[in-house]
Chain A
């Protein structure tokens, strides 16, 4: 029962965050690349001022899977590293906390490129 509620929360919050992105696509001349950069930077600062943490607590993957969640992970990593090792943590914490996603994308990206060939859309 608890799991079902978690899934529903993830669906609704994640869907809402994506819908805002689509609204930006349709209403402005912003390209997807710019929207993604905006999303990650927004996630970093929303997390820094303490707004994203509660959302992540509430929605789970609904907040951590969108790119704003990536920004949130950068900020939480940086804050924890600063607490642990001091000033230099500002440079180590972000990438440490997001290393899995980046390494996975690099690794699976390379493997995929070796196995598959691109095809035109039908």
Chain B
């Protein structure tokens, strides 16, 4: 039996076109020194955000973003039916601690750096299906908490290879809603759920290379399912492929016969930092695509300079354990179509 709201093999149609009513982006100090600084709601100079540990600080980033987003929509916490959240830490610690303060029914998600797109896909389905009127998506990452979990202590003197990426400190939040009285930044129309693509990359210092094949797969399937092409989108936005992943994706799409025009393509990991900021291949982390989408892209929707985009956040689903056991890195990419009202 056909599901009425599916087209093609893996794309979901959202007939009621749930709106993103508000968004908020809270960024750290280094991100605030980058080219997108004016797009953020707040720039937190203190890496600890007044807390005692990096994990609590990250949680505070996430809470601050969620809280700002709810207020920008003109709502209170009680009017939000469900909160979806995720981060990079073990047992998604930052999200759970932020949700404890929000007092909103909570679903925790883990999609590594793809979590912003994953949460938007699920939230728009919940709203479209009538299971929630207002659903809040919030994700975060923090350079210091990610370093100590995935790499080395901050004061350990090791070299970062040029392919390594810099985990973004920040949190982004978006409110997906079916409430017609709320403002509309843009609408969610299609979601393409990614599948794991693993091209046997083992180097945890080259995650762009691990994720790019998944992005190519999701992009190709999105076009096959919807019958659309690049011309239908102002921008194709990937999450945090960085310089290496960006170049690999361009090559892979060329090989698939779907050459991607670099002028219509933006990678959040490359957009968030300047070349001079010594971040090697670019930004990464859930917070990277979250602050770029909810800060920069949503501003452009508000200013009506974007009509329709494909937001595709990519995740490298590795863990320190899988790396130590010699495992290859599973990559994933989820895509959601965001469209302005005509």
Q: How far is the CB of B279 from chain A (nearest CB, A)?
A: 10
Stretch at the interface among A58-66, A82-90, A114-122: A114-122
Separation of A120 and B155 alpha carbons in the complex (Å): 8
Residues from chain B with a CB closer than 8 A to the CB of A120 are 47, 143-144, 147, 154
Separation of A122 and B144 alpha carbons in the complex (Å): 12
Q: How far is the CB of A43 from chain B (nearest CB, A)?
A: 21
Residues from chain A with a CB closer than 8 A to the CB of B159 are 25
Separation of A19 and B188 alpha carbons in the complex (Å): 55
Partner of A118, one of B30, B154, B158, B203: B154
Separation of A1 and B259 alpha carbons in the complex (Å): 69
Separation of A3 and B153 alpha carbons in the complex (Å): 38
Separation of A121 and B167 alpha carbons in the complex (Å): 12
Q: How far is the CB of A109 from chain B (nearest CB, A)?
A: 11
Q: Which residues of A in the span 73-122 have a Cβ within 8 Å of any Cβ on B?
A: 118-122
Q: Does A38 contact B (CB under 8 A)?
A: no
Separation of A29 and B47 alpha carbons in the complex (Å): 32
Residues from chain A with a CB closer than 8 A to the CB of B147 are 120
Separation of A29 and B153 alpha carbons in the complex (Å): 21
Query: A119–B154 contact, CB under 8 A?
Result: yes
Residues from chain B with a CB closer than 8 A to the CB of A29 are 203
Separation of A119 and B148 alpha carbons in the complex (Å): 12
Residues from chain A with a CB closer than 8 A to the CB of B158 are 32
Q: How far is the CB of B18 from chain A (nearest CB, A)?
A: 37
Separation of A32 and B159 alpha carbons in the complex (Å): 9
Separation of A84 and B203 alpha carbons in the complex (Å): 49
Separation of A120 and B58 alpha carbons in the complex (Å): 14
Q: Which residues of B in the span 130-182 have a Cβ within 8 Å of any Cβ on A?
A: 143-144, 147, 153-155, 158-159
Which residue from chain B places its CB closest to the CB of A117 in the assembled complex? Answer: B48
Which residue from chain A places its CB closest to the CB of B166 in the assembled complex? Answer: A121
Residues from chain A with a CB closer than 8 A to the CB of B30 are 122
The digit string for B28-69, where 1 denotes a CB below 8 A from any CB of A, is 001000000000000000010000000000000000000000
Q: How far is the CB of A25 from chain B (nearest CB, A)?
A: 7
Query: B143–A118 contact, CB under 8 A?
Result: no
Q: How far is the CB of A29 from chain B (nearest CB, A)?
A: 8
Q: Which residues of A in the span 22-58 have a Cβ within 8 Å of any Cβ on B?
A: 25, 29, 32
Residues from chain B with a CB closer than 8 A to the CB of A118 are 144, 153-155
Looking at A32, A119, A121, the one whose CB has the most chain B CB atoms below 10 A away is: A121
Separation of A122 and B278 alpha carbons in the complex (Å): 9
Q: How far is the CB of B150 from chain A (nearest CB, A)?
A: 13
Q: How far is the CB of A67 from chain B (nearest CB, A)?
A: 14
Which residue from chain B places its CB closest to the CB of A121 in the assembled complex? Answer: B154
Q: Which residues of B in the span 170-210 have a Cβ within 8 Å of any Cβ on A?
A: 203
Separation of A51 and B203 alpha carbons in the complex (Å): 36
Residues from chain A with a CB closer than 8 A to the CB of B144 are 118, 120
Separation of A32 and B152 alpha carbons in the complex (Å): 11
Separation of A121 and B30 alpha carbons in the complex (Å): 10
Which residue from chain A places its CB closest to the CB of B48 in the assembled complex? Answer: A117
Separation of A3 and B117 alpha carbons in the complex (Å): 65
Which residue from chain B places its CB closest to the CB of A116 in the assembled complex? Answer: B155
Separation of A32 and B154 alpha carbons in the complex (Å): 16
Separation of A112 and B191 alpha carbons in the complex (Å): 51
- 17 A-B pairs with CB atoms under 8 Å apart are A25-B159, A29-B203, A32-B158, A118-B144, A118-B153, A118-B154, A118-B155, A119-B47, A119-B154, A119-B155, A120-B47, A120-B143, A120-B144, A120-B147, A120-B154, A121-B154, A122-B30
3 closest residue pairs by CB, A with B: A118-B154, A118-B155, A120-B144
